[in-house]
Amino acid sequence: MTRRKTPEYGFETRMVHAGAQPEPVTGARQTPIFQNTSYVFHDADDAASLFNLQSFGFIYSRLSNPTVAVLEERLASLEGGRGTTCCASGHSAQLLVFFALMEPGDRFVASNRLYGGSVTQFGKTFRKFDWHCDFVDFDDPQAIRAAIGPKTRAIFCEALANPGGVVTDLEAVAEVAREAGLPLIVDNTMATPFLCRPIEWGADIVLHSTTKFLSGNGTSMGGAMIDSGLFDWSAVAGRFPGLASAEPAYHGLNFHESFGDMALTVHGHAIGLRDLGPTMAPMNAFQTILGIESLAMRMRRHCENAMAVAEFLDGHERVAWVRYAGLPSSPYHTRGRKYLENGFGSVFTFGVKGGYEAGLKVVEGCELFSHLANIGDARSLILHPASTTHRQLTPEQRETAGAGDDVIRLSVGVETPEDLIRDLDGALVRGAA
């Protein structure tokens, strides 16, 4: 399968310009916030054409919105994809993609090293749709192969896993997916397209919680489903009826026959957003567009700071271990050098001596690091996953996900690194007292 070539313009140029142009009425250079619910049709024929999906335009902002559309084009450009569906959160992006691929009774294979909220969504909530997830170790391609059965419809992983810092061998996983004729879905939230572009390594669909690094300012919720346009939804008859069979809501239209490499993107808007309703707010899209304009500069600083902090913690007497792919001691260092183009990310974990209670003291002892459940902010953030984001999991699941009792997760921001190190050192010393 031929991967799409890198566009002519560089990454930094596209992060500022892709998908946008001066507003034609006023000449405004920045994308306006179209805080609008609905759009006037030119005439009855125009309205009918839009509702029949015979032409593209704006009908109602639950389906599409001009501000959101700019963000969608920009993300497709940065990831090397064909089209994007933006939505209300990263979790809703996951819902949209599986809503398009799955029927009751279907299954998918996912890494057992995922963000705890995804483990809960896949392992518990999705069962209400009669969708089932098989969690396996993605460091073992044979385990992935063994988990694939006749009802399997997709393979899912994170490029850079949250919170354990596991770097997925995307080429190896993509090979398994191609052998099975299944789409590979990669959550690229932690890495961002500045560090890794999974489509270039064989992914078919890329997901983001735009709430995190893409927005970068802790203000705006959002998610995105980016389709490479390269997967053949009609290759196996009946495997993906949502995309390659007659759709009764559109008079028997077949999305793949009608829209080709835009099938999943159009389905995401015309069916997913229409019927599930997880629409991205125009203000959130605007804030995310602004955030992306500084993505490359921020990510460079994030990664530089994270390396400095990780090296400091690696030598601290109160720290038992550090899991960061940027450290040569990490088992994922070589893989990180392959897949993470411009740095090793800014989110990583470390273990504080003394276990659960000691971890809580360190988190509560920080003054500059904010204690909250988010990543990707310009501000540095700290969390004890076992007592927060991963507390719904069993102890075994927490350990597998890299969120054991002694684990502290850092999302290193863009502040002065010496200040961050001093803050952590003080919290570690006070926590041991």
Q: Please name each of the domains of the chain with its CATH number.
A: 11-291 (3.40.640.10), 296-432 (3.90.1150.10)
Give the burial class of 251: count Cβ atoms within 10 A of its Cβ; 0-12 exposed, 13-18 middle, 19 or more buried.
exposed
The model's pLDDT over 57-69, given as tens digits with 9 standing for 90+, comes to: 999 999 999 999 9
Containing 132, the helix (H) or strand (E) segment is strand 132-136
The tokens describing 194, both together, are 């500045």
Give the C-alpha separation, 235 to 258, whole Å: 15
Position 357 confidence tier, pLDDT thresholds 50, 70, 90: confident
Candidates 141, 150, 79; CA nearest to 111 is 141
> Residue 219: how many CA atoms within 13 Å on its side-chain side?
14
Whole-number pLDDT of residue 431: 73
CA distances from 286 to 36, 121, 214 (A): 13, 28, 12
The model's pLDDT over 291-301, given as tens digits with 9 standing for 90+, comes to: 999 999 999 99
Yes or no: say if 85 and 273 are a contact pair by the CB < 8 Å rule. yes
Yes or no: say if 265 and 227 are a contact pair by the CB < 8 Å rule. yes
The model's pLDDT over 228-284, given as tens digits with 9 standing for 90+, comes to: 999 999 999 999 999 999 999 999 999 999 999 999 999 999 999 999 999 999 999
Position 6 confidence tier, pLDDT thresholds 50, 70, 90: low
Position 416 confidence tier, pLDDT thresholds 50, 70, 90: very high
Give the sheet arrangement for strand 347-352, strand by strand: 319-323, 347-352, 407-411, 381-383, 370-371
The model's pLDDT over 274-285, given as tens digits with 9 standing for 90+, comes to: 999 999 999 999
Helix, strand, or coil (residue 20): coil
Mean residue pLDDT across the chain? 94
Judged against a pLDDT cut of 70, whether residue 124 lies above it is answered with: yes
Whole-number pLDDT of residue 274: 97
The tokens describing 254, both together, are 């077949």
Average pLDDT in the 393-420 region? 86
Judged against a pLDDT cut of 90, whether residue 359 lies above it is answered with: no
One-letter amino acid identity for 70? V
Position 394 confidence tier, pLDDT thresholds 50, 70, 90: confident
Whole-number pLDDT of residue 15: 96
Report the percentage of the chain scoring pLDDT > 70. Answer: 96
Judged against a pLDDT cut of 60, whether residue 433 lies above it is answered with: no
Give the burial class of 143: count Cβ atoms within 10 A of its Cβ; 0-12 exposed, 13-18 middle, 19 or more buried.
middle
Whole-number pLDDT of residue 390: 63
Candidates 174, 257, 206, 194; CA nearest to 82 is 206
Judged against a pLDDT cut of 70, whether residue 1 lies above it is answered with: no
Range of weakest confidence among 203-217, 269-283, 390-404: 390-404
Give the burial class of 373: count Cβ atoms within 10 A of its Cβ; 0-12 exposed, 13-18 middle, 19 or more buried.
exposed
Whole-number pLDDT of residue 4: 52
Position 2 confidence tier, pLDDT thresholds 50, 70, 90: very low
> Residue 370: how many CA atoms within 13 Å on its side-chain side?
13
Give the C-alpha separation, 278 to 86, whole Å: 9
Candidates 177, 176, 208, 223; CA nearest to 79 is 208
Average pLDDT in the 87-97 region? 98
Average pLDDT in the 181-197 region? 98
Report the 10 Å Cβ neighbour count for 25.
7
